[in-house]
Amino acid sequence: MNTASISPEPVEVALADDAKIIALVGLAHSSSHFSHLILPLMFPVFIKAFGLSYSALGFVMSVFFFISGVGQACSGFVVDKIGARPVMYASLVFLGAGCFWAASAEGYQDLIIVAILLGLGNCAFHPMDYTILNQRVSVKRIGYAYSAHGLTGNLGWAVAPVFMVGITQMSKWQTAYVCAGFVYLVILALLLLYRDSILTQPHVKPKTNEEGVHTSILKLPMVWWCFSFFFFSTMTLAVVQNYSVIILQSLYTVSLQSATMTLTSYMLCAAAGMLSGGFVAAKWPTQSDQVVAVCMAIGALLMALCASTWLSGPWAMVALAATGFALGIGGPSRDMMIRKATPKGATGRVYGVVYSGLDAGFAIAPTLFGYFMDHTWFSGVLLCSALTLMVSVFFAFAVGRQEIKTS
C-alpha cells in the first residue's frame, strides 16, 4: 500500500478511498453511540427483574460515563503511541463482552460490571476516530468527514431503541443483548477485513520540541478551553435526552406520544444539521469558532423560548426540534475548530482529553438538573440549559482568540 497515505498530514486521495475510510469510521462511531442507550432502555425491565430503584440504576450510568470519561482522556495517549487500529479492535471486544455479560446478568453487581465493560469499550472512539480521519482523509473532504462522523453517531442513538426494544418485545431482553453482542462482532470482522483503510501512523516523540509544542499536552490552555466547551455544551444534550419528555408534558400538557416524537425529531434534526454542517465547515474552514458560536447562541435562544412558556405546545415542540438542527450545523465546525487547535502528532491525546468533557457533562448533568426536576422547576431546567450553551459560546470564542495569538 502507499505509505504516504498514512502520514500525519492527510494527502489528496481518490474519492472512493476517502468514502471507504469515512464509512468504516462512521460505522464504528455509531456503535459507540449505540452503547450509550442499551442499558437505560432496559431500566424498566431491570426494575421488575431485579427490584432496583431508578437512583440505583442512575448510578450504573454514572459508572459508565465515569469510566468512559477517564478512559477517554487516557486512551488518546495510547492511540498516539501505538496507532488507532489496535485500540479500535480492543474497544469493540469490550463492547461485545459487555453485551454478552448483560445477557447473563442476575443482579445489580452484574450491571455494574456491564457498565465498566461498556465504558472501557466506549472511551477510545473519539481519539481513534479523529486520528484516522485526520491522517487518512484528504484535506478538501475533512469537513464532510466530520459531518458524516457526527451524523453516524446520531444514527447510533436512533437505532438503539428500535433494536433493543423491538427484539425484547419479540423475544426477551436477554436475546436483545446477545444480538447486540453479535452486532459488535460483525463490525469487528468488517474492520479486520478492511484493516488497511484504518491504519494510522503512531506518533514518534521527537527528542526536542517542534514548532513550540509543549512536552505535556495537559499544559496547553487550548486543550482546556476545548474541554470546557464540550463540558457545557453537552449538559444541554443530557437534559434533552433525560428530561425533555417530562418537561414538555408538564409545561405544555402535550401527550406522551407527542413529547416522545419531539425527542426523536430533535435527534433527526441534529443529524440533518450535521449533514448540512459539513458543507458549512468546508466553505468556512477558517471561521469554525465563529460558526460554532453562532449555532450555539441560536440554540440557546430557542431553548430559552421553550423555557419561557410564551409559545404554545406545538410551537414549543418545533422550537426544541429546531434547537437540534442549530446545534447539529455547528458539529462539523466544532470538530474543525479542535483540529486547528491540535499540535502536530498529538491528535489522539488532544481529542481524548477534549472529548472527556463530553462524558463529564453526561455524567454530571442528570444528577445536577435532577434536583431541579424533583422540585418541579421545569422551566428552570430549560433555562439553565440555555445558559450552559451561552457559556459554551464564550469558550468557542476563547479557542478562536487563542488560535489567533498562536498563529
Q: List, as one string, the DSSP characters of 161-173.
A: HHHHHHHHHHS-H
Domain ranges (residues) in the chain: 11-198, 217-406
Which phi and psi (to 5°) does residue 7 adopt?
-75, 155
Cα 167 to Cα 366: distance, rounded to the nearest angstrom: 28
C-alpha dist (Å) from residue 255 to 16, 193, 375: 46, 47, 22
pLDDT, residue 212, reads: 44
pLDDT, residue 340, reads: 73
* CATH topology match: 11-198 vs 217-406: yes
In this structure, the number of other CB atoms found within 10 A of the CB of residue 201 comes to 17
Contact 349, 128 (CB under 8 A): no
* DSSP 8-class letter at 27: H
b/e code 278-311 from CB counts within 10 Å (16+ = b): bebbbeebebbbebbbbbbbbbbebbbbbbeeeb
Q: Which helix (H) or strand (E) covers residue 369, if one does? A: helix 347-374
Residue 320's pLDDT band (boundaries 50, 70, 90)?
very high
Average pLDDT over all residues of the chain: 84
C-alpha dist (Å) from residue 150 to 154, 291, 328: 7, 16, 8
Higher per-residue pLDDT: 4 or 174? 174
pLDDT digits (tens, 9 = 90+) for 333-388: 888 887 776 776 666 777 778 878 888 888 888 778 877 877 888 899 899 999 99
pLDDT digits (tens, 9 = 90+) for 263-317: 778 888 988 898 888 888 888 888 888 899 999 999 999 999 999 989 998 999 9
- Nine cell digits for residue 289: 469558532
Helix axes 15-37, 142-170, angle to 10 degrees: 40
Q: End-to-end alpha-carbon separation of the chain, Å? A: 35
* pLDDT of 253 above 80: yes
Cα 15 to Cα 145: distance, rounded to the nearest angstrom: 12
Amino acid identity, position 351:
Y
* pLDDT of 215 above 50: no
Residue 3's pLDDT band (boundaries 50, 70, 90)?
very low
Alpha helix ranges (H) inside 194-312: 221-252, 256-283, 288-308
Burial class (CB in 10 A: 0-12, 13-18, 19+), 156: buried
pLDDT above 90 as % of the chain = 36
pLDDT, residue 5, reads: 42
CA 33 to chain centre: 7
- Domain 217-406: which CATH number of 3.40.50.300, 1.20.1250.20, 3.40.50.150, 2.60.40.1180: 1.20.1250.20
- Nine cell digits for residue 74: 487516557
Residue 1's pLDDT band (boundaries 50, 70, 90)?
very low
What residues contact 11, with CB distance under 8 A and at least 6 apart?
Answer: 4, 5, 138
pLDDT, residue 220, reads: 73
CA-CA-CA-CA torsion sign (304, 301, 155, 97)? negative
* Torsion from C-alpha of 189, 191, 194, 199, nearest 10 degrees: -140
Mean pLDDT throughout 176-194? Answer: 96
* pLDDT of 331 above 60: yes
pLDDT, residue 2, reads: 40
* pLDDT of 213 above 50: no
Contact 152, 60 (CB under 8 A): no
Would you mind telling me the total number of residues written for the chain in this entry?
A: 407
Which of 132-146, 207-221, 363-377 is the least confident region?
A: 207-221
pLDDT, residue 405, reads: 52
Mean pLDDT throughout 54-76? Answer: 84
- Domain 11-198: which CATH number of 3.10.105.10, 1.10.40.30, 1.25.40.80, 1.20.1250.20: 1.20.1250.20
Which of 31-40, 92-101, 109-118 is the least confident region?
A: 31-40
pLDDT, residue 402, reads: 65
- CA-wise closest residue to 339 among 218, 213, 222, 210: 222
pTM across the whole model: 0.75
pLDDT, residue 161, reads: 79
Contact 159, 379 (CB under 8 A): no
* pLDDT of 219 above 80: no
Contact 281, 337 (CB under 8 A): no
- CA-wise closest residue to 119 among 61, 78, 73: 61
- Identify the three-state secondary structure at position 212: coil
- CA-wise closest residue to 277 among 260, 298, 304, 261: 298
pLDDT above 70 as % of the chain = 90
* pLDDT of 11 above 60: no
* pLDDT of 235 above 80: yes
* pLDDT of 100 above 50: yes
* pLDDT of 327 above 50: yes
- Identify the three-state secondary structure at position 377: coil
pLDDT digits (tens, 9 = 90+) for 67-99: 998 888 888 888 888 999 999 999 999 999 999
pLDDT, residue 216, reads: 67
